[in-house]
Structure 1
Amino acid sequence: MLRIALVCLHTSPVDEPGSGDAGGMNVVVLHQAQALASQGHDVEIITRRSTPTGPAVLNFGDRLRLRFVDAGPAHPLAKGDHELYIGEFSEALSALGPYDVFHSHHWFSGMAALPVARTRGIPHVQSFHSIAADDSTPLSDGERAESPGRMAGESWLARESDALIAISEAEAHTIETRLGGSPGRITVVSPGVDSELFAPAAPALGSHESRRPYAVVAARLQPLKGLDLAIEAIASVPESIRPELVISGDASADFDGYIDELSQLASRRGIADSVHFIGPQSRQALAELLRSARVVLIPSHSETYGLVALEAAASRVPVVAAASGGLREAVVDGVTGVVLDSRDPAVWADAIARLLSHDEEADELSSRARERAETLSWARSADALLGVYTGLVSSVAVA
């Protein structure tokens, strides 16, 4: 049995994805933690307290706990402001444990946990989930550094951590080329998907004849996610087959006013009545939303993977995704969905219209997407993590 600390400084894994700064990272951490605990390991997720009330620890069964520690004010912060409280969080970590391994998620967490791991002589594993881009890189439009120390901090973590976990081959390449991480310490651990929760609609409910079809975007509402492209694309679909656009998620404090910008864009394009902002959804509600959609759009400028693509696949719904980062791995172009190199709304509109107009093609993509999703479990993902953990812990024991 391993005693595993999963460190998530800036966001709690139990926050609903799409709310505040919660996103795919929250889903990955929580489900991997549950899978690790179900295999008999003692797992503690550690996050910053962001509300003044509530218990210090939430227990999810005998082997999984969520611990809230005091670091900075007990209220939500803009994501970039968390850098100010790394030191306090690190001090709080130093009083916890014992643990056999620290696994940090996002650079804030790593900056706090790596010094504690070094003091204790235990391994430190780092997952980034997103990586800052220098202004000179082609991705600067979509991924500017969120806080002053980020690029230096990520590079330090890539050099000094005992192992680096990437969620895709694309992210592994970025860790190596942008941060200088050694390829020998990088392991790609693909995410899983809950294929029972995210499941196809029953045949009677799956009929598209009785309702106006809709497309879905599920994401944190920020420019990086390319929501303007989704609106422009839907507006460019011929009116006779144009679907509604349902946008699930909310803007964080860093992007206050962004929803108004998107609403104004929809108004200018004449589709304000067809674009619906429904806020962040529970996992159950998101599953219901996806399984009845005709298509899921992922127009992000950058994604380390794109977990929603897997959830749509499990729901037997075709995806149209941007050819950015790990989305090329989450969606197999022409097999489980459509991957587009272009950000021209007309090109996206053509792809959407084709899926709406050619049921056989859409059904073929959806069927193969579901088949692939059924092979990608969270237990499989946890097994890959354990291989990294046990190797590091064994090396420490031998030393």
Structure 2
Amino acid sequence: MNVVVRHQAEALASLGHEVSILTRRSAVDQPAAAQLAPGVTLRFLDAGPAIALPKGQHEHWIADFSSRLGELEPCDIVHSHHWFSGMAALPVARHWGVPHVQSFHSIAADDSTPLSAGERAESPGRMLGEAWLARESDLLVAISAAEAATITGRLGGAAERTAIVLPGVDNTAFSPAGPSSGTPAADDRGYLLVAARLQPLKGLDLAIAALAGVPADLRPNLVIAGAASADYDGYVTELRETAERLGLGAQLRLVGPRSRNDLARLFRDASLVLVPSHSETYGLVALEGAASGVPVIAAASGGLREAVVDGVTGLVLESREPRVWAEAITGLLTDAPRSQRMSVAARKHALDLDWTRSAASLLGVYRRLLGPGTGQIASGSRQHHRAVA
């Protein structure tokens, strides 16, 4: 979500618009505001303690965030990202008399949906809040057709008020490896890459179990890049214990969060990118892998069916059986011509998707709401958009 918000904001600004990104202060040393790029200002609002909080605790500070937001100068349009922000921002947008746009980025499953191992149930407040936002927001923006179907089917959002704006990818930062590119692994096995927040929803245990099924003489290392989630204490230890139990302790590399540049290097030098998530509204990691010219093996979950062109830019697997994943990994590792064809196709696919195109699509959504005269937006008038993240 953070990648989408920032890159769309910067692309909107490059098209001649002013964007303020508002978020909760999570550290005492965060300034009141910071300039991220020309035309893009990041503002920190005081709501709750100035510390990082587990996701589930943010719900307690929605009202405070809404109050701080209401103290700011009105803007032309308010676009909320995730349900916390929407609950805080929709009443303020109504008070200001400006349109409210809602993006969810993830949507709570209903009570009948089985949880993955270690996953915690969502609060009733989230499910009710998302349904309210789907009914009351002026327009809903989905990141994929799969998410749009969830918005209309599960939340009851009106199809005529739901628009799909695909994300983009930085095709300069995420690009294929050059001839002299090295591999950061400690030996010549190469590595599979998973880039994700460390939580059960991301299916990291499946990636480890799948690696165990790859023949030992072929088996690469597994690099997992991402921050540990504060909501799941002990999950990192569980992953390490799983790897040890399967005899993979030396081949699992938990490298923690990485800068965008470091992450791009990890992508371009990987043999394959794995996205074993139980649920993804789109799967931006899969698109970043494609931009890097690396085949992606992804779960057939939500928007991943759209992010990966099955059999062309990678493989989309319906099964979550580790054996099936191991066979897919082994097949691509041992079929260099097929992997190379996928690499070329993946890069070509990504080149058709960039953040300027994504921002232009988003401007089309805003134009639907701002009424007569919005043609001026296309000619570069300084419209002021406020993204609440």
Structure 1 residues 60-139: aligned runs within 5 Å: 60-137=36-113
CA distance in 2 between counterparts of 1:244 and 1:207 reads 11
Structure 1 residues 156-195: aligned runs within 5 Å: 156-195=132-171
Instruction: Indicate which of 358, 361, 367 corresponds to 1:384.
Output: 361
Check conservation: 1:142, 1:301, Cα contact below 8 A: no
CA distance in 2 between counterparts of 1:380 and 1:319 reads 23
Check conservation: 2:116, 2:278, Cα contact below 8 A: no
Alignment match, 1:344: 321
Alignment match, 1:15: none
Change (3 A) 1:236 1:151: same
CA distance in 2 between counterparts of 1:61 and 1:207 reads 32
Instruction: Indicate which of 191, 209, 233 corresponds to 1:232.
Output: 209
Give the 3-state SS of the residue equivalent to 2:124 in structure 1: coil
Taking only aligned residues, the RMSD between alpha carbons, in angstroms, comes to: 1.8
Offset of 1:256 from its aligned partner?
A: 1.1
Residues 6-39 of structure 1 deviation map (CA, whole Å, 9 limit, x = unaligned): xxxxxxxxxxxxxxxxxxx010000000000111
Give the 3-state SS of the residue equivalent to 1:255 in structure 2: coil
Mean Cα deviation higher: 198-207 or 59-68: 198-207
Offset of 1:208 from its aligned partner?
A: 11
CA distance in 2 between counterparts of 1:200 and 1:291 reads 5
CA distance in 1 between counterparts of 2:231 and 2:109 reads 18
> Is 2:15 the counterpart of 1:29?
no
Alignment match, 1:280: 257
Change (3 A) 1:144 1:135: farther
Aligned length: 373
CA distance in 1 between counterparts of 2:356 and 2:209 reads 39
> Is 2:282 the counterpart of 1:316?
no
Alignment match, 1:3: none
Offset of 1:138 from its aligned partner?
A: 5.5
Offset of 1:266 from its aligned partner?
A: 0.3
CA distance in 2 between counterparts of 1:279 and 1:171 reads 29
Change (3 A) 1:136 1:283: same
Structure 1 residues 239-254: aligned runs within 5 Å: 239-254=216-231
Offset of 1:143 from its aligned partner?
A: 7.1
Structure 1 residues 197-208: aligned runs within 5 Å: 197-205=173-181
Alignment match, 1:307: 284
Alignment match, 2:385: none
Check conservation: 2:141, 2:164, Cα contact below 8 A: yes
Percent same amino acid among aligned pairs? 62
Check conservation: 2:115, 2:121, Cα contact below 8 A: no
Residues 351-377 of structure 1 deviation map (CA, whole Å, 9 limit, x = unaligned): 001111110000001100000101101
Change (3 A) 1:50 1:381: same
> Is 2:349 the counterpart of 1:353?
no
Offset of 1:98 from its aligned partner?
A: 2.3
Offset of 1:134 from its aligned partner?
A: 1.2
CA distance in 1 between counterparts of 2:106 and 2:292 reads 26
Give the 3-state SS of the residue equivalent to 1:50 in structure 2: coil
Q: Which amino acid aligns with 1:73?
A: P
Q: Which amino acid aligns with 1:38?
A: S
Q: Which amino acid aligns with 2:109?
A: A
Offset of 1:141 from its aligned partner?
A: 6.8
Offset of 1:62 from its aligned partner?
A: 3.7
Q: Which amino acid aligns with 1:202?
A: G
Alignment match, 1:45: 21
Change (3 A) 1:99 1:347: same
Alignment match, 1:4: none
Alignment match, 1:22: none
Runs of 5+ unmatched residues, structure 1: 1-24
Alignment match, 1:146: 122
TM-score (norm 2): 0.93
Mean Cα deviation higher: 167-176 or 244-253: 244-253
